[in-house]
Structure 1
Amino acid sequence: MADSHSSTMKSANDATTTSSSGKESSANDDSTSPKRYIYTQVDMEHFKHSSAHKELLGFVSTMGKGLTSSNNTNSSSPHSYNAHDPLNDLSPALASLHGSLSCMSTWIDPNTTDGLPPDNEVKARFGNPVFRTWHQRLTERSGAIIKCLMECHGKYVNYNNMESSENAPNKDEILKECSQLGYQAASSSDDSSTTTSDHEISPKENEIINELRCYLHDAFGHPIRLDYGTGHECSFIVFLLSLCKIGCFNWTGAGGGANPTSPEVIGHASLSLLHAYLNITRGLQRDYMLEPAGSHGVWGLDDYHCVPFYLGACQMRAREQWQQQRQQTQKKKKLEAKESSGIGTDTDDDDDARRLPDNPYLPKSTTVTDPSDPPILDATHADNNDHWDPSIIHNRPILESYRGTYLYLSCIHFIQQIKPGVPFFESSPMLNDISHLGNWSKVMAGLLRLFEGEVLNKLPVVQHFVFGSIFKANWTPSRKGPLEAPKRTFIGGPGGVEVTGGMPVTRAPWAK
């Protein structure tokens, strides 16, 4: 086991030696603890031009590229996300994390033995104080969660060599085992309860564990302000980026240098983990009524999220590409049939006409006459009842049937759940406008620009970031201060405005 841990830590050490600019800030020399670097607009400008900004934006972009890669559409059996088998695209470390996230989603359930249901006696528009207990549980158990996923990675880092052994477990068994261990780690506050190794944790490993814990703590909202927003979502993306940099997205120790993790692996693993993450955050938003942090109100994309919409659009773009290729293939077959028979025919193959396509992005393909089949679109929306342009979000039967498979549809469905009775064009005018675009490629490109401009480049959002030895800041901050950003809510229009009092009324774009 020591050898496997050495291999794991080699990837971690490679990720923490120097920043991509080749230098380390003097502020990082004071302590190994992650710390804030963004206090003022001057720091913000440093961040915009930093390696950290480039890495984070590049990582999100790579997620999307992995989902839209030609490898996903040119193959008869592509590497695709399967909602019914969420561990399929994961490494042992990420399977452990998935298990932990699955356990965390039960913490709010009153029907579980240690559930923390909201206090219904609290009369407040936003923020149920029970969330503070929920978050305290996260801080108590995060050490076990991180140690477990690192142990799972270390245990199977040499799996390629083990695979040839007669008694080697298969990958499905390993992923299930790691998922169960991750679930157990999140079920107990005792760090040693899920430890499967007698390996002594080194100071460098402790440093990495503490850094990863900081990102995980920040990913689920603020326990004092009782809010959640795109900054917290970004912390989860930083957490995933950090795991990727230390090699945890792979079965081997690869992940950087000459053996970078492929976009396909990053994209599909992130998609699976985001589904598990959203199961938690949506429960927190709905049951604990967390205040939207930094929301633009009705004039923004969404009260809480941005990245899931982008990745969801990428997933829909991949489906769009698959459909285009399918149509081209069918057209080619028809022409070949005409040439070989010597007579013209416009008749489709009966099976093609009766069946939904064997689409890699659908969990199952069955005949449309099957009463258990999802409803299909009418001809006004599609060619061959299968082309889904962005206006598909207005088709409620499709949302209900495919929200578990398509992340974008899942996001739209959740908005309609928490804002019932409100016309969509009133509750979400930006998303409604997006639905009128001609194809998913435009949606995908626009949402990535939105993420950069309205999330990564906004001081009220990123001032909460902390930086360590994996996710690094390569500048000296304008001042030293507490790890926490000010304990108040930041709400405003584009660019953000610090608000020290109550929540201001959302102003329309034309308001003076």
Structure 2
Amino acid sequence: MQPQGLLPQLRKITVAELVQLPQKKIHTDDDVVAWHKTRGYRDFWLFLLRLNEAVVNHAVPRVDGSCSPTAAVLISILDELDSWIDDIPPLRSPQRFGNLAFRTWGDRLTQKSDQLLERLLGPELRAVIPYVKPIFEISFGSFLRMDYGTGHETSFAMFLCCLTLVRFFEPSIDQERELVLRVFVRYMRLCWRLQDVYKLEPAGSHGVWGLDDYSFLGYVFGSAQLREQAEFPVSAILRLPLPQDNLYCMCITRIHQVKHGPFHEHSSQLYAIATGVPNWTKVNSGLLKMYEGEVLSKRVVVQHLPLGGLLSLDED
């Protein structure tokens, strides 16, 4: 992997350059292959690599501190979305998975997304709203199927990428680190609460053979954080309690909160990594390859992503 300083700069896009709004474009496996050859896909993959490198040897802040105004306003919006859960309690009727109140939460998001995005972007970037709104709205789960999975998580990462392409966020190492350690962590905590309160099903789960029922990027970024920390071996994740200033450890702790029984049985992939991969550099590079292969290359995962617009479908 290349150090962050050796990665290319993310390009800048103006709304004047755009000719189409994002929409669902992936219907077949061939469409997935074609998407991987587009400029938008290359932009997104470069963005993820830059985020990954930005957090090497950096911890999640233990207390809320100052952050950039752009990150602060997005975090305040995620806080507001979290507060809606208190306003919209789960229905008491028997529902094993997918409490119908989640659709009410989703309806409020759909109704207020323009207002939220205008508050985020301000008058200077108001024209960007139609290009990011569809991506933002599906970042929190499917309100029809009442599930959440790696495709929704990917959509939020794409939302952050689009905001960086238009330079709402700057592609600087400090800003990119902040996007992971502050913004993405806040998003992750919100999605955990949505899953718990509304009993969302995992979308496209591989069962015990998958990395995680709901998410992936937390493990990628968390393994990057640990790449230069030899004093914390990969096998250390098997010994609880785990430090909560690392995304990988936060995700493992989360698994122990929602699953019961032997870890090697319900999380065999993570157990295999802990017992079979020698260092965090190999874990990180392996997870990046796995994310591209098991998430971004799976039609059933990416078929709902709105593509085009800022994520150009022009062949690269």
TM superposition score normalised by structure 1? 0.56
Tell me which stretches of 4 or more aligned residues in structure 1 moved more than 3 Å.
12-18
Task: Kindly provide the amino acid, as one letter, of the partner of residue 44 in structure 1.
Answer: V
Task: Kindly provide the amino acid, as one letter, of the partner of residue 285 in structure 2.
Answer: A
Q: 1:59: Cα distance to partner?
A: 1.2
Separation in structure 2 between the aligned mates of residue 264 and residue 313 of structure 1, nearest angstrom: 19
Candidates 255, 259, 263, aligned match of 1:419: 259
Deviation per CA, 1:305-335, whole angstroms, max 9, x where unpaired?
0111100111122444xxxxxxxxxxxxxxx
Q: 1:148: Cα distance to partner?
A: 1.4
Deviation per CA, 1:71-114, whole angstroms, max 9, x where unpaired?
x6xxxxxx8642312543xx3122100111122122223xxxxx
Secondary structure of 2:139's aligned partner: helix
Q: Are 1:452 and 2:287 matched, yes or no?
A: no
Task: Kindly provide the amino acid, as one letter, of the partner of residue 272 in structure 1.
Answer: R
Residues 67 and 264 in structure 1, CA contact (< 8 A), matched pair in contact too: no
Separation in structure 2 between the aligned mates of residue 443 and residue 411 of structure 1, nearest angstrom: 15
Which residue is equivalent to 2:190? 280
Separation in structure 2 between the aligned mates of residue 83 and residue 142 of structure 1, nearest angstrom: 30
Residues 67 and 267 in structure 1, CA contact (< 8 A), matched pair in contact too: yes
Q: Are 1:268 and 2:178 matched, yes or no?
A: yes
Q: Are 1:48 and 2:36 matched, yes or no?
A: yes
Deviation per CA, 1:334-382, whole angstroms, max 9, x where unpaired?
xxxxxxxxxxxxxxxxxxxxxxxxxxxxxxxxxxxxxxxxxxxxxxxxx
Q: Do the aligned partners of residues 445 and 13 (structure 1) sit closer, same or farther apart at CA in structure 2, a change above 3 Å counting?
A: closer
Which residue is equivalent to 1:145? 116
CA RMSD of superposed structures (Å): 2.2
Separation in structure 2 between the aligned mates of residue 271 and residue 15 of structure 1, nearest angstrom: 27
Structure 1 segment 378-397 matched on structure 2, within 5 A: 387-397=231-241
Q: 1:393: Cα distance to partner?
A: 1.2
Separation in structure 1 between the aligned mates of residue 271 and residue 306 of structure 2, nearest angstrom: 35
Secondary structure of 2:269's aligned partner: helix
Structure 1 segment 93-108 matched on structure 2, within 5 A: 93-108=70-85
Higher relative contact order (CA 8 A, sep 6+): 2
Which residue is equivalent to 1:226? 146
Q: Do the aligned partners of residues 431 and 86 (structure 1) sit closer, same or farther apart at CA in structure 2, a change above 3 Å counting?
A: farther
Secondary structure of 2:13's aligned partner: helix
Residues 81 and 272 in structure 1, CA contact (< 8 A), matched pair in contact too: yes
Separation in structure 2 between the aligned mates of residue 302 and residue 283 of structure 1, nearest angstrom: 16
Separation in structure 2 between the aligned mates of residue 120 and residue 451 of structure 1, nearest angstrom: 37
Which residue is equivalent to 2:158? 238
Residues 127 and 288 in structure 1, CA contact (< 8 A), matched pair in contact too: yes
Deviation per CA, 1:88-144, whole angstroms, max 9, x where unpaired?
3xx3122100111122122223xxxxx2121132233x2111000011111122222
Q: Are 1:407 and 2:247 matched, yes or no?
A: yes
Secondary structure of 2:119's aligned partner: helix
Q: 1:225: Cα distance to partner?
A: 0.7
Secondary structure of 2:133's aligned partner: helix
Gaps of 5+ in 2: 1-10
Structure 1 segment 18-417 matched on structure 2, within 5 A: 18=17, 29=19, 32-68=20-56, 81-88=60-67, 91-109=68-86, 115-124=87-96, 126-151=97-122, 205-250=125-170, 261-320=171-230, 387-397=231-241, 399=242, 402-403=243-244, 405-417=245-257
Task: Kindly provide the amino acid, as one letter, of the partner of residue 82 in structure 2.
Answer: S
Separation in structure 1 between the aligned mates of residue 211 and residue 305 of structure 2, nearest angstrom: 22
Secondary structure of 2:295's aligned partner: helix
Task: Kindly provide the amino acid, as one letter, of the partner of residue 149 in structure 2.
Answer: G
Q: Do the aligned partners of residues 225 and 86 (structure 1) sit closer, same or farther apart at CA in structure 2, a change above 3 Å counting?
A: farther
Q: Do the aligned partners of residues 318 and 210 (structure 1) sit closer, same or farther apart at CA in structure 2, a change above 3 Å counting?
A: farther
Which residue is equivalent to 2:313? 473
Q: Do the aligned partners of residues 236 and 281 (structure 1) sit closer, same or farther apart at CA in structure 2, a change above 3 Å counting?
A: same
Separation in structure 2 between the aligned mates of residue 225 and residue 138 of structure 1, nearest angstrom: 16
Residues 142 and 213 in structure 1, CA contact (< 8 A), matched pair in contact too: yes
Secondary structure of 2:111's aligned partner: helix
Residues 61 and 181 in structure 2, CA contact (< 8 A), matched pair in contact too: no
Q: 1:419: Cα distance to partner?
A: 0.7
Which residue is equivalent to 1:464? 304
Q: 1:17: Cα distance to partner?
A: 5.0
Secondary structure of 1:272's aligned partner: helix
Deviation per CA, 1:219-248, whole angstroms, max 9, x where unpaired?
000111111111100100000001111112
Separation in structure 2 between the aligned mates of residue 307 and residue 106 of structure 1, nearest angstrom: 24
Separation in structure 2 between the aligned mates of residue 442 and residue 240 of structure 1, nearest angstrom: 26
Whichever structure has more helix as a proportion of its residues is: 2
Q: Which has the larger radius of gyration?
A: 1
Q: Do the aligned partners of residues 286 and 232 (structure 1) sit closer, same or farther apart at CA in structure 2, a change above 3 Å counting?
A: same
Q: Percent same amino acid at aligned positions? A: 35
Residues 33 and 207 in structure 1, CA contact (< 8 A), matched pair in contact too: no
Which residue is equivalent to 1:75? none
Separation in structure 2 between the aligned mates of residue 58 and residue 107 of structure 1, nearest angstrom: 34
Separation in structure 2 between the aligned mates of residue 262 and residue 46 of structure 1, nearest angstrom: 30
Task: Kindly provide the amino acid, as one letter, of the partner of residue 95 in structure 1.
Answer: A
Task: Kindly provide the amino acid, as one letter, of the partner of residue 98 in structure 2.
Answer: G
Which residue is equivalent to 1:429? 268
TM superposition score normalised by structure 2? 0.90
